[in-house]
Amino acid sequence: MVFRVPFQLSGRYAERNRWEVLNGPGDSRVMGSQIIQDEGLVDQQSDKVVLITGVSSGIGVETVRALASTRATIFGCARNLDKAKEALGELLDTGHVKLLFIDQTDLSSVRACAEEFLEKSSKLNILINNAGVMKTPEGRTKDGFELQFGTNHLSHFLLFYLLKDTLLKSSMPKYHSRVVNVSSAGHRYSPIHLDNVNFEGNYNGWLAYGSSKTANIYMATKSSACMEHEVFMAIAYNPGLL
């Protein structure tokens, strides 16, 4: 599938991150750590608590690395804790980064993760729903849902639902609690097929992926709309090509 509508960037980093100015291998885009420095947030968020899923590789690791510089307390969730420990390395020695086990193909594990988090923290300012899988062979979660929809969307929706009250309680007029869903431009591949979310009899890995990413966006949009009277925000974003 070809995306025919160009992405329109705005803001202080727009020019540097335009698709047209890619310089190939070694090209340096604006990193999260640079934004934190630019915003004057280094060592300034020690009163904040963040929970992020998918911290054993990729975006999750780099997000933890950037946020750790703010001195926020970060709870990173992963299924493979040994891999997460290796990926995060010295960040775990700071005392600000902690690990929780979660298997996002099993909703009972999501519930257990939320329960463990609430035993360790009475506050949550930011929930980052980052973990995900892409274009997998046809499969099911332990609860019987299509693997990508279950992992990428349903597990995160349940996690948000279980932590919603803590997010709202932790919100402040000067710092609204927030949910960040890592979606994808791949949402354009497919809407949500409510009549057949499992793609039974007609499975296509890319379409199933797109459906799960569309659900990430709907979740953020609906959450914001339902709680517009609260000091709360929910967003979904496209991390770009990695």
In 3D, which of 72, 28, 21 has the Cα closest to residue 51?
Answer: 72
pLDDT tens digits for range 14-67:
666 666 666 666 566 667 788 888 888 887 888 999 999 999 998 899 999 999
120 with 95: CB under 8 angstroms? no
CA distances 242 to 58, 59, 78, 174, 238, Å, are 9, 9, 20, 33, 11
Q: Domains in the chain, start-ordered, CATH in brackets?
A: 102-237 (3.40.50.720)
Residue 235 φ then ψ, to 5°:
-135, 155
127 with 159: CB under 8 angstroms? yes
Q: In one letter, which amino acid is 180?
A: V
pLDDT tens digits for range 203-217:
988 999 888 989 999
In 3D, which of 18, 121, 109, 20 has the Cα closest to residue 74?
Answer: 121
126 with 51: CB under 8 angstroms? yes
Give me the active site residues, please: 183, 209, 213
97 with 69: CB under 8 angstroms? no
DSSP 32-48: HHHHHHHTT-TT--TT-
Half-sphere exposure (Cβ direction) of 150: Cα atoms closer than 13 Å: 21
Point out the residues of the chain with pLDDT beneath 50: 1-5
Position 85 scores a pLDDT of 96
Position 3 scores a pLDDT of 44
Residue 74 φ then ψ, to 5°:
-120, 125
51 with 117: CB under 8 angstroms? yes
Position 143 scores a pLDDT of 97
Position 4 scores a pLDDT of 44
Question: What 3-state class would DSSP assign to 223?
Answer: helix
Position 88 scores a pLDDT of 94
